[in-house]
Amino acid sequence: MLNFIIPFVILILVVVFIHEYGHYYFAKKYGVGVTDFSIGFGKEIFGWNDKSGTRWKICWIPLGGYVKFFGDRNVFSQSDQEELLKKYNKDEQHKLFVTKPLYQRSLIVAGGPLANFILAIFIFLFIYMFVGKDFTPAVINEIQKDSPAEVAGLQKNDIILEIDNTKVESILEVSKLIIMSTSEYIDFKVIRYDQKILLKVKPILVESEDNLGNKINKRMIGIKLSPYNNKINHVKLGPAQALIQSINEVYFVTVSSLKYLGSMITGSGDSSQLGGPIRIAKISGQVAEFGIVPFISMMAYISISLGLINLFPIPLLDGGHLMFYAFEKILGRPLSQKTQEGFFRIGMFLLLSLMFFATFNDLKDLGLF
């Protein structure tokens, strides 16, 4: 059990700390007072005060964190803001979050998700510079009889150039692109005898196991691959190229995640693969056994997910606050307290529903349902 718990706690602590530090950085940049910087919820385990009066603390429940601003409260209307300002003198008012211009408040809120994307970029940058990136071209070595690939017209010795308009730079990317596709047909661009050919393949869903032995529903087309000329091309990149590749990877994962969530909403996606803390803990423990590089790679993907989810326009999340600020910009004033409270109830229902569904999938994954 500790093999799962310790890597999970390390992963969550790092990703959450970076997220909250993004809020903290922009708050300090614009002169907002920060009273608490907490990793985890519940009772404090230990902590300390810095010179500016911020209480840095670690709490018992390591499933999130928060940054609390000076005079922090839910300020729903302009009249509420005016009542709040009466409680503080001129110097203290400058430290209040609510007194800051709209663009500064927006950057403070968006700072958390932004920090998560930056963390992922730096992790991939480190890996590509010091470990390397695979650039081995993917050649089809075998086509299974009567498989979707054979029906579509793929052939042995075809070199895969693109999948769904995404350039295939490595043999390792083929499986990932097939699995993460959400459309009914997958577009393949291959080169055959110096001729480029476009083919549409309709994948099938097969119950399989991932590299860690976990059961998954996997999209498959029935091909086996081999390296081009049987040579592996693994290259350590320079800083500029590594940065470009890192940004591309973060962009690809973000877009693919949005497509996957969109497919679940429309009912065409496989919702059984949506997991929560239990599944993350299980997988992080398994990945940690393979070494530091797979573990920090997973940390990058979790960081992207946390940043992306927090940008959803759901009250209680960062994206919900940004949505309110957008309304404030359009209307010239904040939404009324009653309207915002209504949005918060909807947001709470959506988040609880998502947590329940993800936890149900986790328990089903453990064989408890």
pLDDT at 8: 80
Contact 145, 278 (CB under 8 A): no
3-class secondary-structure state, position 153 = coil
Q: Which residues does 192 contact at the CB level (< 8 Å), separation at least 6?
A: 155, 157, 158, 159
The string of pLDDT tens digits covering residues 325-360 is 998 899 888 877 778 778 778 877 777 676 666 665
CATH T-level assignment (fold) for domain 133-235? Pdz3 Domain (2.30.42)
Active-site amino acid positions: 20
The string of pLDDT tens digits covering residues 201-216 is 999 988 776 655 566 6
Per-residue pLDDT band for 135 (boundaries 50, 70, 90) equals very high
Contact 257, 179 (CB under 8 A): no
Is residue 77 scored above 50 in pLDDT? no
User: 116 - beta bridge partners?
Assistant: none
pLDDT at 119: 97
Mean pLDDT in residue range 54-82: 75
Domain range annotation of the chain: 2-130+300-365, 133-235
Buried b / exposed e across 169-200, counting CB within 10 Å, b at 16+? bbbebbbbbbbbbbeeebebbbebeeeeeebe
pTM for this prediction: 0.85
Mean pLDDT in residue range 58-83: 71
**Nearest residue to 323 via CA among 304, 338, 344:** 344
Mean pLDDT, the chain, whole residue set: 84
Structure tokens at 154: 């793929």
Burial (0-12, 13-18, 19+ Cβ within 10 Å), 345 = exposed
